[in-house]
Amino acid sequence: MPEGKFCNKTPITTEEQLKATLGDKGGKQYYEEMNHLDVDSEKLWGAIQKTMKSRTKTWLEICAHCGLCAESCFLYQVNGRVPEQVPSYKIQSTLGQMVKKKGKVDNEFMQMCMETAWSKCTCCNRCGMYCPHGIDMGVMFSYLRGLLYSQGFVPWELKIGAGMHRVYRAQMDVTMEDWVETCEWMAEETEEEWPGLEIPVDKEDADIMYTCNAREPKHYPEDIAEAAILFHVAGENWTVPSEGWEQTSLSMFAGDWECCKDNVVNVYSAIERLRPKRAIGTECGHAHRATVIEGPYWAGREDGQPPAPYIHYVEWLAEALRTGKLKIDPAKRIKEPVTLQDSCNYVRNQGLKDVTREIISYIVEPGYFVEMAPNKEHNYCCGGGGGFNGIGLYREQRNVALRKKKQQILDTGCKLVIAPCHNCWDAIRDLEEEYEIGIRWSFLKPLVIGMLDVPEHLLPKDE
Amino acid sequence: MFKKILLATSGAPSTFGAARVAFDMAKRYGAEVVVLNVMGVPTKAFSQVVNDVRTGEEVEVDDEYRSWVEEELKTTFEKQFETVEFSKLVLTTGVPHREILRCARDEDVDMIVMGASSGDSNVYRKGYPGSTLQRVAKAARCPVMTVHRETASYWGGFSNIVFATDFSKQAASAFKFSLNAAKELDSDLTILHALDISGKVLDQNEIEDRLIAARERIRGTYDLGDFKNCDIEVWEGVPYVEIVKMARERSADLIVMAHHIRELDPEKARIGSTMEQVILRAGCPVISVSKPDKV
């Protein structure tokens, strides 16, 4: 069983391994080692027998190869509509074959599977809506990724990503100390403009426990400050946990199931420890999917629910605007054509389509909001979902994938795109970098802060 | 008051003026210089892939790249490093303004020194409006010095300080800083209020009355104690023009102002800010003070 130094079947569990793997520039040695990585067929077949449940079996079995899913897939559309990009073909030729051959597959086949699972599918689940049988190939690809990960066939960045989650319980190297320090820093930086603003850490029995994405403390701590400002103005009794603050899951994209569970249990323990009335996650799509939609099942929770009601940021924001906790100054509403990106992970996968539009109704001057076509649960993936954004090996394919969103945005004629999801935000930024179509993009938080009608008593006294 | 200076530099020629002033201050006042270079702005994955701040090209940050950047900077500022007793180099990746603020906080510096031109507006900045300078000046706990043009006549040291006040809360901190600096460096201080009459139609008498009132207000607001080398001036006009004129008249080698622009959106806070105009036009370093912590 030759296993490479970097490319092997063992997950990264220590900081040392992480640094060493990161030091392998661009995964050069990693991918070289992958060419010699053996497939443990017995283990693979064992895993399939143990984990492939009736739904997946049925789906593989009843697929009629009708091809109705083809047009539903944006990757099929932007890649010249070649048969190799039809979702049913993609899954049948990979997972389907793996099962047919009872795991007796070779290195070349596994590498082909890896390329298919990570560069020809973003797990956006749009195909599942168009299959006459309701077969969701996005779900199946997530499953296939898990099988591939266990055999070591996973893109370099995602091996590291899952390693980050194992070592730091966050997708980037942000320690608990870093996180708490960043919260203090942001409170300090913001309190002058917003007297009385606090970022309470580990406050028990608060109404809200807020969780976020490690990118925020790492590179964009303003995002945390913005969340704090909005909670402050809305008069919320809120807190962040010192441990269990990070709700993202690159491990989910990598297929590291064990790590997925560990991370989500860590977030749930924070809820159990601090007993908030409810938890709220930041403007992120996959993090919501990981902690709210799939997480309870990973954690083996009987009721399929997190320990406390756990809502997405857009749900809280809509509620705050609806109940008047946050008031918008009508004069400051957006008065230019603006469109909205529906994030697959909480719109298609959880149905929050009306909530975001409710927010739009408060912050955009009537007549200026332009829907993308298609939209809501039929919207296309931004082009960078499922970990696609972060994989250097498939950068070219990812850039092609962005063309669908580019066209959708161009068709709206808008120069401003609201993207309440980190991954969509990133993809749209890259899209502008790559294709230069002259757009701006934003999360909701800064937009809302810019148009708040702030009660007198919350303003600094001396001006 | 100048024990530790943070020099934020991309290594580009546009920051040489800032470097020159920072190292000169360090040499004169025995301060430590922390040279910070934000190598690149993260693009994807775990920040190991960044856009080089100078070329905009995508690079992978690893030890090799890091040591190359370090070598570059050491060569660029070789002579200057030799002149100071304490200095260190900090390399990092991230969004420039944020990393400058982070480093200033971690190192607990007394002053941030940076160049004023940020060059092109990169794509990454669009999602977070505001120039690096605006954002640093807004949030820094310590005074921020910008050196826009390397003034050939700048011999080093500060002998004539012009403090321009708008009577804001932040100006009180800026005054404290100016006074302390003037005392410590034994330099002359001019307190100037530029009465803004741009776009207003006022008769001469009213202007005179306002000038007198402003003069009174300066006297009543700023306690000089036993400090004698101080002039009080009130000029009417467009504030930034008057401040720059005064600096020329006095051969000032340092201008101190208060920073309290909240608006970071460049569309809204367009170069209209007096601070930015002064930085662009003055022939000497400009210090903006916003917080009372380090004055």
Write the DSSP string, A387-405: TGGG-GGGHHHHHHHHHHH
Chain B residues in contact with A430 by the CB 8 A cut-off are 43-44
Inform me whether the C-beta atom of residue A235 falls under 8 Å from chain B C-beta atoms.
Answer: no
Chain B residues in contact with A441 by the CB 8 A cut-off are 126-127
Whether residue A154 contacts residue A113, with contact meaning beta carbons closer than 8 Å, is answered with no
Chain B residues in contact with A188 by the CB 8 A cut-off are 141
Q: What SS3 class is residue A420?
A: coil
| Interface touch B169/A463, C-beta < 8 Å | yes
Count Cβ atoms below 10 Å from residue A172 Cβ, excluding itself: 23
Whether residue A292 contacts residue A281, with contact meaning beta carbons closer than 8 Å, is answered with yes
Inform me whether the C-beta atom of residue B49 falls under 8 Å from chain A C-beta atoms.
Answer: yes
Is residue A18 in some structural domain? no
Inform me whether the C-beta atom of residue A160 falls under 8 Å from chain B C-beta atoms.
Answer: yes
Go through the domains of chain B in sequence order and give each one's CATH number.
Answer: 4-147 (3.40.50.620), 160-288 (3.40.50.620)
Residues A438, A374 within the same domain: yes
| Interface touch B95/A426, C-beta < 8 Å | no
pLDDT in tens, A38-79: 999 999 999 999 999 999 999 999 999 999 999 999 999 999
Residue B124 clears pLDDT 80, i.e. is over it: no
Which residues, listed in sequence order, are joined to residue B234 by a DSSP beta bridge? Answer: B193
Residues A299, A187 within the same domain: yes
Is residue A217 in some structural domain? yes
Residue A79: what residue type? N
pLDDT in tens, B73-104: 999 888 888 888 888 899 998 888 999 999 99
Domain that includes residue A201, residue range: 165-323
Per 3-state DSSP, chain A is made up of helix, strand and coil in percentages (nearest 5) of 55, 5, 40
Judge residue B60's burial from the number of C-beta atoms within 10 Å of its C-beta, 0-12 exposed, 13-18 middle, 19 or more buried. middle
Inform me whether the C-beta atom of residue B47 falls under 8 Å from chain A C-beta atoms.
Answer: yes
* Closest residue on chain A to B40 (Cα): A219
Q: Residue B295: what pLDDT?
A: 83
**Nearest CB partner across the interface for A157, out of B45, B262, B265:** B45
Last residue of a domain, one of A153, A182, A205: A153
Residues A149, A172 within the same domain: no
Q: Cα separation of A125 and A140, whole Å?
A: 10
Inform me whether the C-beta atom of residue A28 falls under 8 Å from chain B C-beta atoms.
Answer: no
**Nearest CB partner across the interface for B60, out of A25, A221, A442:** A25
Distance from CA of B266 to the nearest CA of A (A): 13
- Which residues lie closer than 8 Å to B17 by C-beta, 6 or more apart? B115, B147, B148, B149, B150, B151
Pairing of β B32-44 and β B111-115: unpaired
| Interface touch B95/A161, C-beta < 8 Å | no
pLDDT in tens, A108-148: 999 999 999 999 999 999 999 999 999 999 999 999 999 99
Count Cβ atoms below 10 Å from residue A449 Cβ, excluding itself: 17
Q: Cα separation of B107 and A42, whole Å?
A: 55
Whether residue A85 contacts residue A75, with contact meaning beta carbons closer than 8 Å, is answered with yes
Inform me whether the C-beta atom of residue B58 falls under 8 Å from chain A C-beta atoms.
Answer: no
Chain B residues in contact with A387 by the CB 8 A cut-off are none
Distance from CA of B201 to the nearest CA of A (A): 26
Inform me whether the C-beta atom of residue A189 falls under 8 Å from chain B C-beta atoms.
Answer: yes
Last residue of a domain, one of A270, A288, A323: A323
Q: The dihedral of CA A309, A315, A316, A321: what is its sign?
A: negative
Whether residue B52 contacts residue B24, with contact meaning beta carbons closer than 8 Å, is answered with no
Inform me whether the C-beta atom of residue A368 falls under 8 Å from chain B C-beta atoms.
Answer: no
Inform me whether the C-beta atom of residue B98 falls under 8 Å from chain A C-beta atoms.
Answer: yes
Structure tokens at B19: 């470097």
Give the lowest-confidence range in A10-19, A254-263, B2-11: B2-11
pLDDT in tens, B184-196: 999 999 999 999 8
Q: Which residue has the higher pLDDT, B269 or B79?
A: B79
Whether residue A420 contacts residue A343, with contact meaning beta carbons closer than 8 Å, is answered with yes
Residues A80, A119 within the same domain: yes
Q: Residue B126: what pLDDT?
A: 38
Q: Which of A415, A412, A403 is nearest to A375 (CA)?
A: A412
3-state secondary structure chain B: CCCEEEEECCCCHHHHHHHHHHHHHHHHHCCEEEEEEEEEEEEECCCCEEEECCCCCEEECCHHHHHHHHHHHHHHCHHHHHHCCEEEEEEEECCHHHHHHHHHHHHCCCEEEEECCCCCCCHHHHHCCCCHHHHHHHHCCCCEEEECCCCCCCCCCCCEEEEECCCCHHHHHHHHHHHHHHHHHCCEEEEEEEEECCCCCCCHHHHHHHHHHHHHHHHHHCCCCCCCCEEEEEEEECHHHHHHHHHHHCCCCEEEEECCCCCCCCCCCCCCCHHHHHHHHCCCCEEEECCCCCC
Inform me whether the C-beta atom of residue A253 falls under 8 Å from chain B C-beta atoms.
Answer: no
Last residue of a domain, one of A128, A153, A178: A153
Is residue A1 in some structural domain? no
Residues A146, A189 within the same domain: no
Whether residue B178 contacts residue B190, with contact meaning beta carbons closer than 8 Å, is answered with no
Is residue A406 in some structural domain? yes
Q: In Å, how far from its chain's centre is CA A272?
A: 24
Is residue A419 in some structural domain? yes
Which residues, listed in sequence order, are joined to residue B59 by a DSSP beta bridge? Answer: B50
Whether residue A116 contacts residue A155, with contact meaning beta carbons closer than 8 Å, is answered with no
Q: What angle do CA B45, A170, A420 make, to 5 degrees?
A: 65
Structure tokens at A235: 């008069």
Residues A219, A107 within the same domain: no
| Interface touch B46/A157, C-beta < 8 Å | yes
Chain A residues in contact with B94 by the CB 8 A cut-off are 218-219
Residues A132, A268 within the same domain: no
A441 membership: H or E segment, kind and range: strand A440-442
**What burial letters (b/e) apply to B12-47, b meaning 16+ CB within 10 Å?**
eebbbbbbbbbbbbbbeeebbbbbbbbbbbbbbbbb
Give the lowest-confidence range in A154-168, A369-383, B61-75: B61-75
Q: Residue B129: what pLDDT?
A: 45
Looking up tokens 């939609």 gives: A293
| CB interface of B with A, residues 140-159, below 8 Å | 141
Write the CATH number for A91: 1.10.1060
| Interface touch A433/B123, C-beta < 8 Å | yes
* Closest residue on chain B to A171 (Cα): B46
Structure tokens at B48: 């190991």
A433 membership: H or E segment, kind and range: helix A422-435
pLDDT in tens, A355-389: 999 999 999 999 999 999 999 999 999 999 999 99
* Closest residue on chain A to B293 (Cα): A188
- Which residues lie closer than 8 Å to A32 by C-beta, 6 or more apart? A4
Is residue A11 in some structural domain? no
The secondary structure of A236-286 as a DSSP string is --EEB-SSS-B---HHHHHT-HHHHHHHHHHHHHHHHHH--SEEEE-S-HH
Distance from CA of B165 to the nearest CA of A (A): 16
Q: Cα separation of A59 and A125, whole Å?
A: 14
Residue B57 clears pLDDT 90, i.e. is over it: no
Whether residue B6 contacts residue B109, with contact meaning beta carbons closer than 8 Å, is answered with yes
pLDDT in tens, A175-190: 999 999 999 999 999 9
Count Cβ atoms below 10 Å from residue A93 Cβ, excluding itself: 16
Chain A residues in contact with B268 by the CB 8 A cut-off are none
pLDDT in tens, B16-34: 888 989 999 998 888 999 9
Percentage of chain A beyond pLDDT 90 is: 96
Inform me whether the C-beta atom of residue B265 falls under 8 Å from chain A C-beta atoms.
Answer: yes
Is residue A149 in some structural domain? yes
Chain A residues in contact with B43 by the CB 8 A cut-off are 430
Q: CA separation (Å) from A285 to A251, A293, A419?
A: 14, 11, 10
Structure tokens at A282: 């930041």
Q: What is the mean pLDDT of residues A137-166?
A: 97
Give the lowest-confidence range in A46-60, A126-140, B136-150, B226-240: B136-150
Structure tokens at A68: 């109705």
| CB interface of B with A, residues 184-223, below 8 Å | none
- Report residue B45's pLDDT band, with 50, 70 and 90 as the boundaries: low
Residues A148, A173 within the same domain: no
Q: Would you give the DSSP letter of residue A212?
A: B
| Interface touch A161/B128, C-beta < 8 Å | no
A148 membership: H or E segment, kind and range: helix A137-150
Q: Residue B265: what pLDDT?
A: 54
Give the lowest-confidence range in B48-52, B151-155, B232-236: B151-155
Helices and strands in chain A, H and E counts: 23, 7
Residue A270 clears pLDDT 60, i.e. is over it: yes
Domain count, chain A: 3
Residues A219, A354 within the same domain: no
Residue A463 clears pLDDT 70, i.e. is over it: no
Q: Cα separation of B242 and B214, whole Å?
A: 15
Q: CA separation (Å) from B30 to A210, B85, B156, B183?
A: 46, 7, 14, 17
Pairing of β B58-60 and β B49-52: antiparallel
Whether residue A87 contacts residue A69, with contact meaning beta carbons closer than 8 Å, is answered with yes
3-state secondary structure B92-108: EECCHHHHHHHHHHHHC
Helical packing angle, A222-233 and A176-191, nearest 10°: 60
**Nearest CB partner across the interface for B62, out of A23, A189, A221:** A23
**Nearest CB partner across the interface for A390, out of B44, B101, B139:** B44
Size of interface A-B (CB pairs under 8 A): 68
* Mean pLDDT, rounded, of chain B: 85
Q: Would you give the DSSP letter of residue A310?
A: E
Q: Residue A131: what pLDDT?
A: 96
Inform me whether the C-beta atom of residue A441 falls under 8 Å from chain B C-beta atoms.
Answer: yes
Q: How many Cα atoms are found within 13 Å in the side-chain-facing hemisphere of B63?
A: 6
Residues A258, A359 within the same domain: no
| Interface touch A219/B42, C-beta < 8 Å | yes
Pairing of β A440-442 and β A238-239: unpaired
Q: Residue A332: what pLDDT?
A: 96
* Closest residue on chain B to A384 (Cα): B44
Inform me whether the C-beta atom of residue B46 falls under 8 Å from chain A C-beta atoms.
Answer: yes
Q: Residue B127: what pLDDT?
A: 39
* Closest residue on chain B to A190 (Cα): B139
Residue B118 clears pLDDT 60, i.e. is over it: no
Distance from CA of A160 to the nearest CA of B (A): 9
Is residue A264 in some structural domain? yes
Inform me whether the C-beta atom of residue A426 falls under 8 Å from chain B C-beta atoms.
Answer: yes
Residues A139, A171 within the same domain: no
| Interface touch A426/B262, C-beta < 8 Å | no
Chain A residues in contact with B126 by the CB 8 A cut-off are 429, 432, 440-441
Chain B residues in contact with A442 by the CB 8 A cut-off are 127
How far is it between the farthest Cα atoms of chain B?
69
Q: How many Cα atoms are found within 13 Å in the side-chain-facing hemisphere of A455?
A: 12
Structure tokens at B124: 């990454």
Q: Cα separation of B10 and B61, whole Å?
A: 16
Distance from CA of A189 to the nearest CA of B (A): 6
Inform me whether the C-beta atom of residue A389 falls under 8 Å from chain B C-beta atoms.
Answer: yes
Residues A185, A267 within the same domain: yes
Which residues, listed in sequence order, are joined to residue A399 by a DSSP beta bridge? Answer: none
